[in-house]
Structure 1
Amino acid sequence: MRPLRYAINVTLDGCVHHEAGVAPDEELMGFWTVVMERADAVIYGRTTYEMMQGAWRRPASGVWPDWMSEWEVPFADALDRIPKHVVSSTLESVDWNAELVRGDLVDAVRGLKAQPGEGLSVGGVTLPLALANEGLIDEYTFVVHPIIAGHGPRLLDGLSELTRLELIDRREFGSGVIAQTYRPAPVR
């Protein structure tokens, strides 16, 4: 069974909004590239899918835009080619190496996890909350930035019950960012 991994940038006060000033530098983008390359596929909700597509889809010309730094290209390449599963009841169709997830979310994600492979990655805010509430996330990576945003959506805000985690990895970056990876703690 493939593990489902949730990884996200978060501020010290728990904000997970992409506009909270948590843009990665070269070192951190290398980390995110490895995270993406560890996955066989990603699962996104509509909002995250559209945001990622707008930023990271290879242009029809095949040439990455001028705003993209050379050190962002490996991440963009990895995300551009990875299969995407998009959970949406409003989209009629998707492209960008993607397919829509329809029907019961829990059954669909369990079906994806049951397939052979290295693992699945989930991104965003709302969808991971729904999956965490169902106990479907096997690993959490919180990339904590030394920023206090003071506003915006909060990490797993609205989780239905306490979830105990155990630390399995920790990495510090030159920028002061700390990536902490957890898995659900065994029930005792």
Structure 2
Amino acid sequence: MRKLVYGMNMTLDGYVSVVGDDIGWSGPPGRELFQWWLDHERATGLSLYGRKLWETMSSHWPTADRQPGVTPAESEFARIWRDTPRVVFSSTLGEVAGNARLVGGDAVAEITRLKSGDGGPMSIGGATLAGAAMRAGLIDEYVIAAHPVLVGGGTPFFTALDSWVNLDLVETRTFPGGVVLSRYETRR
């Protein structure tokens, strides 16, 4: 069975974006944090995206390595991003490009099917999509990169749940600029 990992940058008060889907609160990631996310992407066998995250990522990473001033790490991330298979969940998009396929039906059923297969870990991104997987008990690991900023509202990292989910802390690390990364595994 494949492992499903939900990880994103978030504000200290728990939001992945502010009203209007603005993620400008995070600024560009520092070199060490970017390297951590690059290593995470490299270890991912399949990426699952909600529509909003897909639109954000696909507007930049397909050609990011051809932009002026790109760092070697950014160039490598762009290459890995293009090469990693992705499943995009959306009922409003008509098509997706690159190494991606579109699913417009039951996200929980498809994620359950994908988890039961063979392969490397899967990452899930986008708070709405991850929230559905969270409520269905499908998330195996949470990765939280908490930035030292309070925004007061927006799209929360976590969704409302019907019951508790017990977690075990498996890693914590502080990055320059005060970003604290924590990884938790779901206790089964």
The two structures have a TM-score, normalised by structure 1, of: 0.89
Does the 8 Å contact 2:38/2:73 carry over to 1?
no
Post-superposition Cα deviations, 1:107-149, rounded to whole Å, max 9, x if no partner, equal 2111111221121001111100010000011100001112222
Does the 8 Å contact 1:29/1:75 carry over to 2?
no
For 1:96 and 1:105, the matched residues in 2 are separated by 20
For 2:29 and 2:162, the matched residues in 1 are separated by 31
Could you say what secondary structure the match of 1:55 adopts?
coil
For 2:92 and 2:59, the matched residues in 1 are separated by 18
Is the counterpart of residue 12 in structure 1 residue 17 in structure 2?
no
Equivalent position of 1:137 in the other structure: 139
Matching residue within 166, 169, 186 for 1:167? 169
Could you say what secondary structure the match of 1:176 adopts?
coil
Q: CA RMSD of the aligned region, Å?
A: 1.7
For 1:180 and 1:22, the matched residues in 2 are separated by 19
For 1:153 and 1:7, the matched residues in 2 are separated by 14
Equivalent position of 1:74 in the other structure: 76
Equivalent position of 2:2 in the other structure: 2
Instruction: Pick closer, same or farther for the CA change 1:162–1:22 going to 2, 3 Å.
Output: farther
Equivalent position of 1:21 in the other structure: 26
Q: How many residue pairs are counted as aligned between the two chains?
A: 183
Matching residue within 115, 119, 122 for 1:120? 122
Equivalent position of 2:55 in the other structure: 50
For 2:25 and 2:160, the matched residues in 1 are separated by 20
Does the 8 Å contact 1:106/1:134 carry over to 2?
yes
Structure 1 residue 102: Cα displacement: 3.7
Structure 1 residue 67: Cα displacement: 5.5
Is the counterpart of residue 40 in structure 1 residue 42 in structure 2?
no
Structure 1 residue 73: Cα displacement: 1.7
Segment of structure 1 superposing worse, 100-109 or 132-141: 100-109
Equivalent position of 1:31 in the other structure: 36
The two structures have a TM-score, normalised by structure 2, of: 0.89
Post-superposition Cα deviations, 1:48-105, rounded to whole Å, max 9, x if no partner, equal 111100121127xxx5212643432222221121111011111122111100124322
Structure 1 residue 166: Cα displacement: 1.3
Where does the alignment leave 5 or more consecutive residues of structure 2 unmatched? 18-22
Is the counterpart of residue 84 in structure 1 residue 86 in structure 2?
yes
Segment of structure 1 superposing worse, 89-98 or 131-140: 89-98
Could you say what secondary structure the match of 1:28 adopts?
helix
Q: How does 1:143-182 map to 2 (within 5 A)?
A: 143-182=145-184
Could you say what secondary structure the match of 1:16 adopts?
strand
Matching residue within 95, 98, 117 for 1:96? 98
